[in-house]
Amino acid sequence: MFASHRRRARLLATTLLSSVAGVSLSALPAHAALGSVTSASLSGDTLTLTVGGDRLLVQALRPDIVKVDYRPGGVADPPTAVIDPAKTWATGNIISADMASNPIVVTTAQLTVKISRNPARLSVFDATGALVLSEQAAEGVYADGVKFNHGSGQAFYGITGNPVPWAEKDPKQNLAEGMQRNDGGRVNANMQGDGGAPLAFTHRYGLLVDSIDGDFAITDTTLEFSGVSTRNVAYYVLVGPPRQVMAGVAEISGKPALSPKWALGFNNSEWGTTQTEVTSIVQGYRDRKIPLDAFTLDFDFKAWGEDDYGEFRWNSTSASGNVHPNKFPSGAAGTFARDMAARGVMLMGIMKPRVIVGKAGGGITAQGQWARTNNCFYPGLADYNEYFSGRPANDVDFSKQTCRDWYWQHSRTLFDAGIAGWWNDEADEANGTLFNSLQHFNMQRSLYEGQRAVSDRRVFSLNRNFYLGAQRYGYGMWSGDIESGFGNMADQRTRMLTSINIGESKWGMDIGGFFGDPSSENYARWMQFGAFVPIYRVHGVDGKQRQPWVYGATAESAAKGAIELRSRLMPYLYAHERINHETGIGLVRPLFYDYPTDPNAANLTSEWMFGESLLVAPVVEQGAASKQVYLPAGTWIDYTRGSVYTGPLTFNYPVNASTWQDIPLFVKAGAILPTQEVLQYVSEKPVKQIDLDVFPTTARSEFTLYDDDGLTRAYENGVFFKQRITAQRTSTSVTVETQAKTGSFSPALTHYIVKVNATMGTAARINGTAPTRYGDLAALKAATGEGWTTGVDVYGPYTAVRVAAGVARTVVVDGTPSTPPPPPVTSVLEAEDAALSSGAIVQNDHPGYSGRGFVAGYWNSGATTTFTLQASTAGTYSATLKYSNGNGSARTLTMVVNGVRTQLTLPATADWNTWSTYTARIPLNAGTNTLAYVYGSGDSAHVNLDSLTIAP
């Protein structure tokens, strides 16, 4: 978005002008609350009730999902775009029904519905008999909404994402409050970077309403949805924990198609390029051995402004009106795209919802004339001068099939000449009008349906907002035109997780920020963060470059390491892409999805599960020497350092504030983690061998490896490779089983290296037979057949077995588990993350601190900073305090270790911008200890504290 355009959008967001083409929001007639049931009948899984002149249909779609459809006067509209029109449901879900009782009682294996007869009110209970939701006695369903009572003390999620900060106008939303939506909120998607879903859910259940837009009002005991967009009120109650609820929502609303494999790799987007420059940038990646899978082109690649459909042509011409002519001379012929594909780089191109209506020399363009004649302009939107060409334009009304077909007809020339992915921008507003919530949705629907009609290539897109249902159309989302800086980077974590909570599993952001100039450290840490989101892409405003080498050697090294790590994890990522397609549960999951009853996970946005087995807590704080991490219950292994932790545990994880290399990443015990060698792009060469890092436990664990051709829709017809792998430990051995593959695809893969961690095997067997033993891991990997070896790495002793892929194998490794390495004994704790009391405060007005600030306030008598320390063994440790004392003379402070007080004398520093350290030797007990710095009686204090380093 151009800068002046952004200022106009800010004004627009303030005025909240809105137009709603294609969405029925006409005033609904007033209707009294439901009266008494006059008749009831059951047919299959559907209960039909007559309530006066109205009808109430209750349908058990699944044992855990019930649909309620209130039809005033018996009238119902077709389902909205939220609902998957292709979905069919299995029958036989109702296991018992008492139609004669009051209330009427219908039961499935996972829920019970009770309907009182006078008045007609519905309640849902879970399998334990606990109440989920009950329609309010005074008024349950009504003309355009429904009111419920619910149990107190529940946190709510879903409803809406978070737009770019300046566009947030919902008074119920505050980015600082995290993922929870305990007050409710507006449901819409007409701000950039925003999203909406008529969905609210807790850790026990969810409520989905079939509506385009609306409003949730939530209190501690009530839940209401109002503003239903259809004449009937249809809602769904889903019973179960968050993952089950979200998978149910995907069944109702539709599951995402598989993205092409290249879309999971690294994507360089840039505005202000030429064919020559893009070629040079791509070569820069290849020369530096930095993986790159895609390049996204902005305005430059189009003949934008050129008379008569220039918006739909490659910029390979210089006819009248072209803003920057002939920037991509080989584009239209397809030569440029073929050259990029030969280098392993797929091209995405920007698409706008508008067409130019005024010719450069006067008169109306051909596309403008056609759209006007065929009523394909957005209702009520006057022509306006668009910012890139400065000429009159107008926006397409994508709610109409005719207009969608026409838009694809002309976009096809770009697809035929090599555009492999669509980047849809600005279908949220134009010139003082906020578009309806389905404008972006239907714009991508045009491209999705058009491309599928002419090609078996998978459809992939990026869009600037999301409304539930769009995921059916090859629909990814990015967070809009964000600013550079650590604070804005950190905000993207919450924005990602709230988008996932409304059903958008394919989310990304402009790494580095669209506006501004990130520092080298900001860029490096952002690239690490970006490696652990679904869509990994950099971008900046016109003329800004976001290649790793632009930001210096240190940032380049850190960024390259992050990109390479993502490349190694590609088998893991792609298996989860298949899980997303099958279940609707994406690669990134908020922590509470997997730990719904853990209060520490309920609103934690600083970390998330990255697939089934990895927990990541990216560093987003400037100058950080440590990162606070929370690990839920269970055993966790540091992916990089091998240390083993037992949760629940909150601790400060040391990171290097100079090299920026650290990514706090943890493996869940039981994981089967597939990795491959680093590739410069996903199809660089056949992957013949995959490493399976196994972290076995006494509970049986599993992972299903997945592959296909990565490009086409042949997988829809069974042309794929799936192999289920299980692992389990006993006191004397570990068993890993691979089942025979399913699917007709034959990948290049021939073998797995099954590395059983924390086990020095004494023997190994494959299907009961002892294979050849090799001298080390390198020799085993170079072997042509099956075999085994042992060794030691960061995770301790291991046993590795090379086994054929695609066939059934039982691998047994004899050996007892080794003692895991303890967590590192050196730890860095940020003072601002400690417990502060009696006037101690966090400030950041002096440079040179680590983390997000330092602790001041030691002019207040009694000011205290208390650290909680974990020691694996009892002993004497060094406690090094980083402090500043700009008073010009030494100052004293009291140190209290497990209740024992010692006065310290801290020498003066040159000024308040200068930091020094003071080391004391302290005794610590095995387990939990406390260390506090107190302005005590007899102290002179008046110092600032930055961090504490504990070492043996």
Task: Supply φ then ψ for residue 870, to 5 degrees.
Answer: -110, 130
Q: How far apart are CA 637 and CA 50, in angstroms?
A: 59
Q: Give residue for tokens 């950080």.
A: 624
The secondary structure of residue 677, as a DSSP letter, is -
Kindly give the pairing relationship between strand 588-589 and strand 721-729: unpaired
Task: Supply φ then ψ for residue 299, to 5 degrees.
Answer: -45, -35
45 part of the active site: no
Write the pLDDT tens digit of every residue in 740-754: 999 999 999 999 999
Category of 68 on φ-ψ map: left (φ > 0), alpha (ψ -120 to 50) or beta: beta
With a cut of 70, say whether residue 11 has pLDDT above it: no
In a 13 Å sphere around the CA of 878, the CA atoms on its Cβ side amount to 12
Percentage of the residues of the chain whose pLDDT score is greater than 70: 96
With a cut of 90, say whether residue 1 has pLDDT above it: no
What is the average pLDDT across 231-243?
Answer: 98
3-class DSSP assignment, residue 761: coil
Q: How far apart are CA 672 and CA 545, in angstroms?
A: 38
Write the pLDDT tens digit of every residue in 344-355: 999 999 999 999
- Binned at pLDDT 50, 70 and 90, residue 3 comes out as very low
Residue 520 exposed, middle or buried by CB count within 10 Å (0-12, 13-18, 19+): middle
- Binned at pLDDT 50, 70 and 90, residue 679 comes out as very high
Residue 359: alpha-carbon gap to chain centroid: 42
Please tell me the predicted confidence (pLDDT) of residue 18: 36
Q: What is the CA radius of gyration of the chain?
A: 30
Catalytic residue among 213, 293, 300, 481: 481
Maximum mean pLDDT: which of 474-478, 540-544, 823-827: 474-478
Structure tokens at 650: 């909150």
CB 824 within 8 A of CB 641: yes
Residue 413 exposed, middle or buried by CB count within 10 Å (0-12, 13-18, 19+): middle
H or E stretch at 223:
strand 222-226
395 part of the active site: no
- Binned at pLDDT 50, 70 and 90, residue 926 comes out as confident
Q: How far apart are CA 806 and CA 501, in angstroms?
A: 35
Write the pLDDT tens digit of every residue in 407-455: 999 999 999 999 999 999 999 999 989 999 999 999 999 999 999 999 9
Catalytic residue among 54, 293, 395, 425: 425
Please tell me the predicted confidence (pLDDT) of residue 824: 61
For the chain, what is the mean pLDDT?
94
Write the pLDDT tens digit of every residue in 149-193: 999 999 999 999 999 988 888 999 989 889 999 999 999 998 999
Q: Give residue for tokens 């004494």.
A: 762
Q: How far apart are CA 563 and CA 691, in angstroms?
A: 18
Structure tokens at 728: 């389990």
- Binned at pLDDT 50, 70 and 90, residue 5 comes out as very low
Please tell me the predicted confidence (pLDDT) of residue 823: 66
Q: Edge-to-edge, what's the strand order for the sheet holding 733-738?
A: 701-707, 721-729, 733-738, 809-814, 763-766
With a cut of 50, say whether residue 787 has pLDDT above it: yes
- Binned at pLDDT 50, 70 and 90, residue 10 comes out as very low
Q: Give residue for tokens 């695609």.
A: 806
Write the pLDDT tens digit of every residue in 814-862: 999 987 766 665 678 889 988 999 999 999 899 888 877 899 999 999 9
Percentage of the residues of the chain whose pLDDT score is greater than 90: 89
Q: How far apart are CA 504 and CA 848, in angstroms?
A: 40
Write the pLDDT tens digit of every residue in 391-411: 999 999 999 999 999 999 999
Write the pLDDT tens digit of every residue in 597-647: 999 999 999 999 999 999 999 999 999 988 989 999 999 999 998 999 999
**Closest to 879 in 3D by CA, of 919, 916, 917:** 919
With a cut of 70, say whether residue 6 has pLDDT above it: no
**Closest to 828 in 3D by CA, of 607, 658, 667, 943:** 658
Task: Supply φ then ψ for residue 576, to 5 degrees.
Answer: -75, -25
Q: How far apart are CA 260 and CA 348, in angstroms?
A: 12
CB 47 within 8 A of CB 120: no
Write the pLDDT tens digit of every residue in 550-592: 999 999 999 999 999 999 999 999 999 999 999 999 999 999 9
Q: How far apart are CA 35 and CA 522, in angstroms?
A: 61
Q: Give residue for tokens 């989905």.
A: 208
What is the average pLDDT across 874-882?
Answer: 91
Strand partners, 117: 120
428 part of the active site: yes
Please tell me the predicted confidence (pLDDT) of residue 825: 58
**Closest to 290 in 3D by CA, of 101, 491, 513, 553:** 553
Q: How far apart are CA 370 and CA 668, in angstroms?
A: 58
Catalytic residue among 54, 170, 213, 428: 428
Max Cα separation, the chain? 89
Of 148 and 868, the one with more pLDDT: 148
SS3 assignment for 169-232: CCCCCCHHHCCCCCCEEEECCCCCCCEEEEEEECCCEEEEECCCCEEEEECCCEEEEECCCCCC
What is the average pLDDT across 245-268?
Answer: 98
Write the pLDDT tens digit of every residue in 488-536: 999 999 999 999 999 999 999 999 999 999 999 999 999 999 999 999 9
Task: Supply φ then ψ for residue 918, to 5 degrees.
Answer: -135, 125
What is the average pLDDT across 862-877?
Answer: 89
What is the average pLDDT across 313-318?
Answer: 95
